[in-house]
Every structure is written in structure tokens, then in C-alpha cells.
Chains A and B, each alone.
Chain A
Amino acid sequence: MQAIVSTRGLSKRYGSSYSVENIDLLVEEGEIYGFLGPNGAGKSTTLKMILGLAQPTEGSVTVFGKELAKHRRLILSQTGSLIESPSYYGHLTGLENMRVVQRLRNVPGSHVREALKIVRLEQQQNKKVSQYSLGMKQRLGIAMALLASPKLLVLDEPTNGLDPAGIGEIRELIKSLPQRLGMTVLISSHLLSEIEQIATSVGIIHQGKMLFQGKLDRLRNESHPTIAIKTSRNPMAHSLLAAQGLTPILQDGFLRLSHLTDAQVARINRELLAADIDVLRIVEHKKSLESLFLELTGKERSL
């Protein structure tokens, strides 16, 4: 698959500290790439550098196979974006805002109607944007981004501040874009649950560094289940299992083992009973994506 966005060693330093450090990001054609990280992780800075709104301290950005530094105008003419919060002229109506973008993008007027229809804002197009709800402003921002039928759509936390209904609405809209309009979407969020429902690929960034990048399925596969066994004599059971080449960890009154098949669990149970050790409980713990994400970005940390 063709790489739509790729960065190599992308870094941004403010003073002596790095906001983004050595990021190699890869977004392939037709996918919805979820860029995930806690607040202040460096998501917006990375996206700004991809759009040429901020200058990288080190590294390079390639979009559509062309280097951003040399082909910025051409790249931006095929890219739609919504960075941080929606941008709009509050004193103008939704339609007038779209007309401003239409003239700047130099696209036919029919695109305006179409984009407003996609985000379902036709009914409110003649209302002043300052009177819009936050959800409507976000939708207008997306309509502006969609206006020139871009090949790449960059959305930075598009559901920020929306109520659950608004989040669902924006989510469904974004999910439909690759199939409906053949776009590649790069979307950032600090909410795993949101990215999990939209993205096909994911990049996890924390303190400016990329911790994971790949298909969402690969991330799911990394969350191996662990088996916790509680016995009447844990130290003895530990020695018995260790003697068999297993590596149980004694924790909170449970012996924890990972990478076990059902047959192995049954055999361990039989052997413990044969050694006159009562098995009180066998529990399977499956790591959720959430706990995996927390583990990657630092435990107990508020997102």
C-alpha cells in the first residue's frame, strides 16, 4: 500500500526540552490512522509539522511521496485539516464561512452545498456561526476541510468538548469517509475508546516519543491473557510449577502465568491436585486495550 504520510526522525524542540522526539509516523492510503496519546504528548505539534504550520527542529515530512518542505503548496492543496479547535468567522453565517474557504481553495460553488450536506448543516447554513453549538462548529470545521475533496484529511481531536451524541455523529461521519470519498484520514485523540471504534491503524505517542505503531489488531494481540491460580499452598505450588519449566509469579495470593493453552491449564490443575495441593480458583485475566494503553503511557496516569 502506498504511504500517504511518512515522517523520518521528526522532532520539535522548545528551548531545551523536546515536545516531539524522533517520530517515524507512517500512514498508508485509505486507512484511518488513530494518533493516540495523553494530553500534552505531542500529537498537535506533530500534526502541525505535518501541515507545515510548525517548523520541525529535526527530521523530515513526506506527504503523497513528496517532501513537505519543497512541495508545501501542492501538498496542502490536496489536504484538508481541522487542528485543535474549529476555526471560523463567528460574525459570518455557515454558508459565508464556506464561501470564504471556497474562494481561497478556488473550487466550484457546488462543493459548498455538497460539503454542507455531508456534515448535515444545510438547515443551519444561514445562521451566524457564533450562534452554533460546539458540535455544529466542529461539523462546519470538517465541512471546510472536506470542501476541496482532499486526498488526506487531518483531524486533531475533532470530538473535543462534544456530548456523547455529537461524538457518535462525528465518529460515524469520519468512519464513512474513506469508503465514500476515498480519503485517507489521520485523526488524533486522547481517548482510546474513540480511536478503537474508528481507526484501522494506530500510533501511540507519549512524552513526545512514539511507543507503538501498527494495525489495531496487532495491538489487540499484544494483550495476552494471564491465568491466575489460587491454591491452598501457594509456595509449594510455585516450586512445583517452576520445576516444570513454567515461570509463575506470586502476586496478591495468586500464581500468575501467561501464554498458557487450555490443555496446559488443565494439566497444571491435575498435577496440583495430584501433589495434594487444593486448587481454590483459576481465573483468566485479559488485558483490555485500555490497560495496555495505560501500561504504555505510564500506569495510574490520568489521560
Chain B
Amino acid sequence: MIRSIWLECYKLRRRYVGMTVLLMIGVEMGWAFMASSMSIARNPDQASWEPLIAMTASLNGLFAPILAAICVSRICDMEHKGNTWKLLLSMSVKRERLYAAKYGCVALILLLACLVQVLVMIGFGKVNGFEESVPIMLLGRLLAGTMAAHLAVIALQQWLSMALHNQAFALCLGMLGGFIGMAADLFPSAIRPLFIWSYYSGLSPVAQSYAGNQLEFIARDLGTELPMIGLLLFIGLLIYGAGRWHVSRQEV
């Protein structure tokens, strides 16, 4: 499987996926840092990690679904464009294996993107002289939550990108996901869990609430987060299985 994932990465040469990811992360983090800098300028006592993490998780709701859609689309549409399905299948490559390799490759790219995100957050904290030490646990939980949401979103995007030649549908779904991810906190709590994009901000390790006119940032209890991650991974697995089953049965 590692060989198959490596081959998928090899096939991504000159697809500018790395550059696209860095650009998206750059825009998102630029936005997050600008907002945080303005907030710190107004309230110097809020110069801490929690607001930055909450802001990043919230912006992930907007950017991450689009980023996932772009990455999945880039890796899947090269098979449609070059008419390579027949080539691969006539070489006895199992479609299930190819499906898994593409999934693994996108997951790896987005994991690296999450790591870059965490690293630049640490850099921002250091530059702005946050007094507390780097909250490894909170940043690790942010990374885990984002990745759990990514795994489910990749599964859905891959199903669409593999099944349909026209990638416009997949990219539209990504944008719709971005809108839902951004607005999810405004949805009633009963329907919010139905949208996989809502988990980007839903799994944020830091919650924000208003106490009077003051915005407060509170670290969430890990115990409430774990069942949500479990549920999300289960949904992702179901979507992945359904997509793989469907795509494997399509005739070329």
C-alpha cells in the first residue's frame, strides 16, 4: 500500500498541489493572524493561545472543505483526463487498491497541511510573545479534530470526484461544504452533527462564549470530544466504503 501511495504522489508531479495547499493555508492563516493581531491590539490581556486556536478552528470550517475538494479533485481528475482507467485496470491494478491509495495520498497531504498550520501558529505565538508555553495538548487536539473531519470529507469528495468526470460538481460540493462549515455554529444543535463539514469548528478544543460583553475562551473537555471523533470516523468509514463499492462497479 505504501508503494501505491508513493506512486500516487509521483503522479502528482507538476500538478502544483503543494503550492495550492500552501497558498490556501497562507490565506487562511493570514486571515487568522490579522484577526488575532487586531484582537490583541484592542485587548492586550487576550494575547494567548486559546483565541488563536478558536479562530483557526473556525476558519478551518470555511477553508478546509474547499482545500480537501481541490486536493481530491486534482488527484482524481488526472485519471479521467488521461483516460487512464483502462490502462490501470488492464494492468490488473485493483480499483479498490487504487481508491485506497488515492485516499491515503490526499490524507497524507492534508496531514502535512495541518502540521504546517500548527507550526505557523506556534511561530505566531512566539513572535507575539504569548506568555504561556506552547499548548501541545490543545494544538494536538486541534490537529486530531481537523484530521478526523478531513477523513470524512475526503471520503465524500473522492466518491464524487471518482464517479463523475466533471470535477465542477465536486468543487461545488467543496464550496457548499465551506459555507456549511463556516455557518455550522449557527445551526440548531440537533441537525448540526448531520453535516460532516460542521465538525471542523465543532471539534475545536477551545469554545468561545460571551460573558456579558466579554468574549471568553474556554478549553473544552476531552471527554465530550472523543465520542464525536469516533462518530465522525465511523461516518467517514461508511462513506468511504459506499464510494469504493460504487466506483469499483462502474464499467470503463
Which A residues are closer than 8 A to B by beta carbons? Answer: 48, 51-55, 72-73, 76-77, 79, 81, 83-92, 96, 99-101, 103-105, 128, 144
Contact = CB atoms under 8 A, between A and B. Distances in A.
B90 A100 contact: no
Nearest first, the 6 closest Cβ-Cβ pairs linking A and B are: A87-B87, A76-B92, A87-B84, A91-B14, A81-B90, A73-B92
Contacts of A81: 86, 90
A138 B147 CA distance: 42
A48 B252 CA distance: 9
Contact of B13 (A48, A52, A88, A91): A91
B90 A51 contact: yes
Interface of B: 3, 7, 10-11, 13-15, 78, 81-93, 251-252
A45 to B, nearest CB: 10
A91 B92 contact: no
B92 A100 contact: no
A90 B90 contact: no
A99 B9 CA distance: 13
A248 B62 CA distance: 86
B7 A89 contact: no
A35 B85 CA distance: 23
Contacts, number: 70
B88 A104 contact: yes
Given A73-B92, A77-B92, A96-B13, A89 B82 contact: yes
Contacts of B13: 91-92, 96
A100 B82 contact: no
Given A76-B91, A103-B7, A104-B91, A87 B15 contact: no
Nearest to A106: B3
Contact of B11 (A53, A86, A92): A92
Given A87-B83, A90-B82, A92-B13, A53 B90 contact: yes
Given A92-B11, A92-B13, A53 B86 contact: yes
A85 B15 CA distance: 23
A99 B10 contact: yes
Contacts of B88: 104
8 contacts: A53-B251, A53-B252, A79-B90, A87-B86, A87-B87, A89-B11, A100-B7, A104-B7
A79 B89 CA distance: 12
A100 B11 contact: yes
Contacts of B14: 91-92, 128
Contacts of A103: 3, 7, 10
B82 to A, nearest CB: 5
A147 to B, nearest CB: 9
B92 A72 contact: yes
A182 B10 CA distance: 33
A84 B86 contact: yes
Given A96-B13, A100-B11, A103-B3, A88 B84 contact: yes
